[in-house]
Amino acid sequence: MKYSKIELMICQLARLLEDGSTIVVGTGMPCAAAMLAQKTFAPNIMLFFEAGGIGPLLQEMPISVGNSRTAYRGIMTGSLSEIMETCQRGLIDYALLGGGQIDMYGNINTTYIGDNHDMPKVRLPGSGGANDLASSSWRFIVVMRHERKRFLKKLDFLTTPGYLSGPGAREEAGLAPGGGPYKVITNLAVMGFHPESKLMQVESVHPGVTKEDILAETGFELLWSPLLKESSPPTDQELNILRNEVDPYRYVVGRSF
């Protein structure tokens, strides 16, 4: 069955979410991936939404983190403070984030593009809860388009901390020990981070993508995993559930990429 780049990315993300894990979810691809996981191999994942929904059974795609669908058959409906407190207490396994720019240590910019904060070329949405979630969750996963203007050696602004300047930097800054970026999923590949240097490294390359394609769209030197492989494409079952149950109105999978 044919699939789009967005469908491939959603499936790659869904497969990372272990059954029983606790996850803070945003809208768009992260929500679609969480729903796909919940409807297939991870029925016991515990989902949290920034506006307060805790433990819902997702039946229809929420259009925002405050949508009433994020509370359907949930444990409770709280508020932003409950979600952030849960992160700070060390109870969140994964936060699923997007980004405007990212560097080799997984630091993210979602504030502005340009060299002048007061007069930027592009004003981005800002942190929202991303800084707090990345600072306090055990791991975070980034989903974004792979382009040279986004994968940069130096960010225009550091909104959300990854491994900051490298090994030990998060701990020195007082952030959650052992936390940090886990995976970066793009339209070209899945990247992780080297356990010692904390530098981004390619772990799997998507079907039809070459090493040269990835290098051409990356503005810093990437590491390559010794266990490098090709990403497994979506299965027919995953695509059927994604298209017919998760996102039948094509809020997410209908986007061009």
Catalytic residues: 50
Dihedrals φ, ψ of 37, to 5°?
A: -60, -45
Q: Give the CA distances from residue 225 to residues 103, 127, 190, 204, in Å, rounded to whole numbers and listed in that order.
A: 18, 31, 11, 8
- Nearest to 33, CA basis, from 17, 55, 51, 54: 17
Rounded to whole angstroms, how far apart are CA atoms 23 and 7?
20
CA 32 to chain centroid = 12
Cβ–Cβ < 8 Å for 218, 148 = yes
Token couple for 8: 């491939």
Per residue, the 3-state secondary structure of 156-202, as one string, reads CCCCECCCCCCCCHHHHCCCCCCCCEEEEECCCEEEEECCCCCCEEE
Q: Give the CA distances from residue 46 to residues 21, 37, 115, 186, in Å, rounded to whole numbers and listed in that order.
A: 6, 11, 40, 25
Cβ–Cβ < 8 Å for 47, 25 = yes
Hey, is 110 helix, strand or coil? coil
